[in-house]
Amino acid sequence: MEVNGRGEVVSHRILESIINSDYRMTYTAVREILEDGTPALLEQYAEILPMLEDMEELRQIWDYYSKNEAPPMPLVTDNSYGYNYTAVCPILDENGKPIDIKPYEKSIATNMIEEFMLVCNETIAENSFWQEMPFMYRSHQEPDEDK
């Protein structure tokens, strides 16, 4: 996908591919690199630091447009879909049995991945629509506040 300075997808190619991961990272590591500048992580991931910084810049662009003037074409953002929820994660005991549920702390790293996934999903859906391809999708109902 090619994305311009306003965060708009201006071109894309969809192809059969295999993903080969050169790095395994955690949301915590990405946050510590981008927010804290943790020296050991900056050194460990020096080769991909420019890419992470570009990704963070794009995340900031999408975040700006989700809160301010809209760009000429629609953008997918966390806020545009109303995904204003609290993610939770279970706390397990030594036997793997859930004993508590705590809010999962969102960070720029989790937000970045959410934004990238949403833009990819929208691009695939739009491409399928314009090619009049059959497309399976899920319709989300309004969540039950009690649940």
Residue ranges in the chain whose pLDDT is less than 70: 69-86
Whole-number Cα distances in Å, 10 to 65, 67, 120: 16, 21, 13
Query: What is the pLDDT at residue 70?
Result: 57
Whole-number Cα distances in Å, 38 to 34, 42, 127: 8, 6, 40
For 105-133, write each residue's pLDDT tens digit: 788 898 898 889 888 888 998 999 899 98
pTM over 0.75: no
Distance CA 121, CA 115 (A): 10
